[in-house]
Structure 1
Amino acid sequence: MTRARRTPIDPPQPKGSSVFTTRPELAGNFGMVASTHWLASATGMSVLEGGGNAFDAAVAAGFVLQVAEPHLNGPAGEVPILLWDESARKVSVVCGQGVAPGSATIDRLTALGVEVMPGTGLLAATVPGAFGGWMLMLERWGTWSVAEVLEPAIHYAEHGVPVLDRISATIETVERLFTDDWPTSAATWLPGGKAPVPGSRLTNPVLAATYRRIVAEAVGSTREAQIANARDAWYRGFVAEAIAEFSATTAWRDSSGEVHGGLLTGDDLASWSATVEEPLRFDYHGHTVCKTGPWGQGPAFLQQLALLSGYDLTAMGHLSADYVHTVIECAKLAFADREAWYGDTPDVPMRDLLSDAYNAERRGLVGTEASFDLRPGSPGGRKPRLPDYPAQEGVLSARGVGEPTVGADGRVRGDTCHVDVVDRYGNMVSATPSGGWLQSSPTIPSLGFCLGTRAQMFWLQEGLPNSLRPGIRPRTTLSPSFALRDGKPWMAFGTPGGDQQDQWSVNFFLALVHGGGLNLQEAVDAPMFHTEHFPSSFYPRASRPGVMHVEDRIGPGVVAELRRRGHEVETRDGWSLGRLSAVSRDGTFLRAAANPRGAQGYAAGR
């Protein structure tokens, strides 16, 4: 039967009715890898083929993403991971999110004249957590050595990766910044003094040498001893020494317009380590979704499900005006709670935020018209407190370095990567590495990478859950996802996209639950939407109350009805929102799907 492309006004059709997909859902029984870049997916699959498990494959793919997508993540970034250990029959969270330096206090920053943490430069650096996160997963659940998982990244850093259009555009946008203010970055990212053109070869021999030295120092009689020595080289050895010296002895212009040095010290790196935590969970229509704690925005996914559990989305019809309106209005409420309650503190009232009584009350705020207010709730009778948002004029839009990537206005932002893996043993991984973007901070010349800027997500106001405090994690947007179905491990999934991560991932999940039998690829390909109603997590905290974006494939009738209900709908190109990937196991096959948007995400498997 010929598979027909849907026209933009057609609603998505249920499985088996000639739904157009950009590529097939992969199915097999050996292993599956899906990620935001084909080189990472190919690397992960090669590890599975070479006898490694899902954890080995995810680590190797994660290091390759640093080289293949340096504008979206880097060695000094961070990574939260959700994983399923088949032998223990357990979901775990690996927190590879670094903390604020010991000297990073609100008083210290305000004494410098800084009222909002800059989005670029050295002041916003937290302890680089990605290396520790990857190493912890490798140590506890993997089987390969440090040398084996780093070999693909070293190869690509030394011999080069093809320059994506977005890499070229990102570097071109910051070319003058590098030339005028960040010469160490110019030396790394402007070969021949110019931004590399799309399709050319981009190398990073200094980074290759850094990782070769890590391998050389990762010696020991056991695999665990080798991993421990690699971690020591990073957090207490030559990497930490270079980071500490660079932070203490150099100063650079950042997005505040002023020149500042850094706060990270060797003691900050030496005293930090990645951790393993229990996930938060919520049951929804026979599925259990697992997320990180409220040091990330992941619980906003669960809060949306808690609100949506009171509606019959299936009866509304997938992507109908009723459906989209309801999902958007519930997202506004969940993210308002994120703003008021989330942070790296034990005082976040998650039990109340996910309770039936609380969400029944909150559901009463969802009307037939679009809301334009930021309305956090009062879980357990507590009074919410929102930050004092910076004054902004007119229609708000992000400037500085935040997410998503370089916009049509040419302003530089960062973004994120994602990788999912399932192996033949049933182990599964969902990881969302980010930060340490090439455009976020000056390159440390002896290491070949720059520091991250995740501290821009802290508030420089006292008394908030996400107020800057030494030694705590910023509330991030990084949000890998894992789901069980009927109590059995089912799916690892996620997407880049900053504040949109827990909107696009929710939309994808809901499409699978309420979309009439869509498979993974059909749900990835389905028209996507999100709201910009709530304040951004990134400098300078912009918001656009009532504004929502929809891909134009959703249909003019739906758009017209949403506008009639008061939503300020901005239609986007039909293949522009979301960069989802997913792997699953259903008792018959292992499956995978990846995002066609941007023409770089791929799944591999057999």
Structure 2
Amino acid sequence: MGFTTRPELNGTFGMVASTHWLASAAGMAVLERGGNAFDAAVAAGFALQVVEPHMNGPGGDLPLLLWDGSRVRVICGQGPSPAGATIPAYRALGYDLVPGVGPYAACVPGAFDAWCTLLRDFGTWEIADVLAFAIGYARDGFPATPGIVGAIARIDPSWDVSAAIWRVRDGRLRNPMLADFYTRLAASPGTSREARIDAARDAWYRGWVAPSLAAGFLTADDLAAYRAVVEEPVSLRFGDWTVFKTGPWGQGPVLLEQLALLDGVELGPFLGSRHVHTVIEGAKLAFADRDAWYGDSAPVPLDLLLSREYADERRSLIGGEASGELRPGGPSPRYPSVRAGAIGDAEPTRGDTCHLDVADRFGNLVSATPSGGWLQSSPAIDGLGFPLGTRAQMFWLEEGLASSLKPGVRPRTTLSPSMAVHDDGTVLSFGTPGGDQQDQWQLEFFLAHAVFGLPLQAAIDAPMFHTDHFPSSFHPREVALRAVTAEGRLPAETLAALRARGHEVDVTDDWSQGRLSAISRGPDGLLRAAANPRGMQGYAVGR
């Protein structure tokens, strides 16, 4: 597996890797002008809202992990459900699932406050300066990639403001409405840098912006009560590494559960049938726990789920054949009602996600996974130039589940940035878009690098696979038992052996699964960076 599509970057000054080259360029420009990794991440994040509007937007959400040279912390920009969003309220509207489209799928948009929290508490730049790149791209234009063009074609024709904003001219897109909106926010007054950032936050959540955001169940009071929070991460030891994720309000710990199941297991040759089968069967068990236990609506027994004793017990369930069951563990798990179907076929308005990693010469790193607020999933707001998110679709309209809909709680998001720290002092930041696949593709990347010894770019380029053997997090919440999606580049003998074990294998295009980026900082200060070649727009830059 020595082939790579591009060189792995290395240097000592700074690195930025993201899902779009213009965002990577914006982040690197900040580093070159003296900003730190936190400033650069915010600039790149706002740029991604403009150049990947079908993948994320200002109305979306954001979890991120940061390393400040000594410890990992989490900033949670996952907004909660509105106070009026109750199961009876949705039932009264005729819903048995939260819709995947439109204002009734909206939670409080948390991304803006999370980016501002990172900038104010850890960065050094002004809000106007980090917004300048996004404003420039929105006003002057940027290339309309095939993914954006396809998303625009799926916009509801009755959404007049959306249709007016997203029009491709000469192969480029502009959003002057968003540029004007962010220009006004950038001019927020204050007597200090921190005060100007807080003024922009207050304008968004408690001032002149908030009334325009109220729609569906979302009200100005819901917005006024919101603050992004800084939290401690959840972690797990795996070999010589400690891996860090968000708490179980997101799916992050499912990566740790998978690692615990695989700890000490002989996986055989890289991408051989034992390797792929074992990883898939472990994923089935970990994701069953995700759907039974993770969420913000009930206590999560995370100490049990990540314990060595629990992993030993669950590991014994991995047999030689493909399991066709949904098998959560723990004491009296409550599992949601599920329906069989073809994953992804029934929700043409669903978007995807972005990811960015940043490292600077000062020893700081950021891993961030912004998403939501997709241009094709909800009507754009006149005067602002962006839609609300649809993350509430990840709640269940069933009582008594860990991720049941309740007012004021966070949906159990799929957004899942990662960090890992080696015993020798190496810090690794990584992540990917991909919804339910995020913590499967990240697991396989991490195994390729940490267990099989592949460099970052080779680990990203390696053939990828995943399973859909669990309820989808997205409307209409279907499950495909025994399903495995694999790139055609996997060895033919592996694919044949998986089918012989009972897996329902769907072979896709050779370069279609996984969109990772990663940056590492060695104990000597050497930075390495790599980005996904699939889709031809993710790039790493640095020196």
Q: TM-score, normalised by structure 2?
A: 0.98
Q: What corresponds to 2:164 in structure 1?
A: 187
For 1:299, the equivalent position in structure 2 comes to 253
Q: Cα distance, 1:553 vs. partner? A: 1.1
Contact 2:343 2:468 in 1 (8 A): no
What do the CA deviations read for 1:197-221 (whole angstroms, capped 9, x no partner)? 7x711000000011011012x2211
Query: Contact 1:533/1:547 (CA < 8 Å) preserved in 2?
Result: yes
Alpha-carbon distance between aligned partners in 1 of 2:107 and 2:302, rounded to the nearest angstrom: 26
User: Percent of counterpart pairs with the same letter?
Assistant: 60
Aligned mates of 1:160, 1:537 — CA distance in 2: 33
2:354 matched to 1:354?
A: no
Q: Secondary structure at the match of 2:540?
A: strand
CA drift of 1:397 comes to 2.9
The residue aligned with 2:106 is 125
Q: CA deviation at 1:489?
A: 4.5
Distance 2:258 2:297 in 1: 22
TM-fit CA distance, 1:398 = 2.6
Per-residue CA deviation, residues 252-300 of structure 1 (Å, 9 max, x unaligned), is xxxxxxxxxx111111000010000000000001001000000000000
Q: How does 1:259-298 map to 2 (within 5 A)?
A: 262-298=216-252
Report deviation, 1:532.
Answer: 1.0
The equivalent of 1:333 in structure 2 is 285
Equivalent-residue separation in structure 1 for 2:58 and 2:174 (angstroms): 15
Residue 497 of structure 1 corresponds to 434
Alignment of 1:593-604 (within 5 A): 593-604=530-541
Q: Does 1:210 align with 2:181?
A: yes
1:78 matched to which residue of 2? 61
Which SS does the other structure have where 2:242 is aligned? Answer: strand
Aligned partners of 1:397, 1:219: CA distance in 2, in Å?
A: 48
The reply on whether 1:555 has 2:491 as its aligned counterpart is yes
Matched, 1:398 2:344: yes
Match of 1:141 in 2: 122
- Equivalent residue, structure 1, for 2:199: 229
Match of 2:25 in 1: 42
Contact 2:298 2:401 in 1 (8 A): no
Q: Deviations over 1:438-472 (max 9, x none)?
A: 01101111110110000000001111110001110
Residue 11 of structure 2 corresponds to 28
Matching residue within 519, 527, 532 for 2:455:
519
- 2:95 equivalent to 1:159: no
- Residue 345 of structure 1 and its aligned partner are, at CA, apart by 4.2
Q: Is the 8 A contact 2:14 2:28 kept in 1?
A: yes
Match of 2:273 in 1: 321
What is the 5 A alignment of 1:407-422?
Answer: 411-422=348-359
Partners of 2:269 and 2:179 lie apart in 1 by: 51
One-letter amino acid matched to 2:274: D
Decide whether aligned partners of structure 1 residues 264 and 524 sit closer, same or farther in structure 2, where only a CA change above 3 A counts: same
Assess if the C-alpha contact under 8 Å between 1:116 and 1:539 holds in 2: yes
1:499 positional shift: 0.1
How many Å apart are 1:400 and its aligned residue? 5.3
SS of the counterpart of 2:378? coil
Residues 84-129 of structure 1, C-alpha deviations (whole Å, 9 max, x = no match): 011xx11000001100001111111111111110000010100000
Corresponding residue to 2:477 among 541, 564, 584? 541
Q: Is contact 2:243-2:418 (8 Å) kept? A: yes
* Distance in 1 (alpha carbons) for counterparts of 2:375 and 2:40: 24
- Matched residue type, 1:50: R
Distance 1:429 1:496, change over 3 A: same
TM superposition shift of 1:488: 2.4
Question: What's the counterpart of residue 242 of structure 1?
Answer: 212
Unaligned 5+ segments in structure 1 are 1-11, 13-18, 248-261, 402-410
User: Match of 2:408, as an amino acid?
Assistant: G
Amino acid at match of 1:293: G
Decide whether the 8 Å contact of 2:178 with 2:385 is kept in 1: yes
Displacement of 1:173 after TM fit? Answer: 2.9
Contact 2:427 2:522 in 1 (8 A): yes
Q: CA deviation at 1:591?
A: 0.6
1:597 CA drift (Å): 0.3
Q: Residue type matched to 2:283 in 1?
A: A
* Root mean square deviation of aligned Cα: 1.2
Shift of 1:237: 1.2
The 2-side partners of 1:521 and 1:37 are apart by 16
Partner of 2:47: 64
Rounded Cα–Cα distance in structure 2 between residues aligned with 1:271 and 1:495:
30
Any idea what the Cα deviations from partners look like across 1:322-359, whole Å, max 9, x if unmatched? 01100000000000000100001461000000111111
Question: Structure 1 residue aligned with 2:336, among 387, 405, 411?
Answer: 387
Q: Distance in 1 between matches of 2:285 and 2:481?
A: 12
SS of the residue aligned with 1:139?
helix
Are the aligned partners of 1:520 and 1:582 in contact in 2 as well (CA < 8 Å)? yes
Distance in 1 (alpha carbons) for counterparts of 2:288 and 2:507: 24
Which of 87, 96, 106 aligns to 1:106? It is 87
For residues 400 and 568 of structure 1, what CA distance do their matches in structure 2 show?
20
Query: How far apart are residue 310 of structure 1 and its match?
Result: 3.8
2:367 counterpart SS class: strand
Asked whether the 8 Å contact 2:154–2:349 carries over to 1, the reply is yes
1:399-548 equivalence runs, <5 A? 399=345, 401=347, 411-486=348-423, 488-515=425-452, 517-548=453-484
- State the distance in 2 between where 1:31 and 1:108 align: 50
Counterpart Cα distance in 2 of 1:238 and 1:158: 22
8 Å Cα contact 1:529/1:548 also seen in 2:
yes
Which residue is 1:8 aligned to?
none
Aligned-partner residue type, residue 442 of structure 2: S
2:97 aligned partner: 116
Is the Cα–Cα contact under 8 Å of residues 310 and 360 in structure 1 kept in the other structure?
no
How far off is 1:396 after superposition? 2.2
Q: Match for 2:160: what amino acid?
A: P
Cα-to-partner distance string for 1:155-201 (whole Å, 9 max, x where unaligned)? 00011110001100111133xx2x2x222211212x3xxxx37x711
Q: Secondary structure at the match of 1:123?
A: helix
Q: Measure the CA separation in 1 of the matches of 2:306 and 2:435.
A: 23
Contact 2:154 2:376 in 1 (8 A): no
Q: Distance in 2 between matches of 1:533 and 1:329?
A: 9
Which letter maps to 1:241? P
Which ranges of structure 2 fall in alignment gaps of 5 or more residues? none
Range with bigger deviation, 77-86 or 482-491: 482-491
Runs (4 or more) in structure 1 with deviation over 3 Å come to none
SS at match of 2:428: strand
Q: Which residue of 2 aligns with 1:408?
A: none
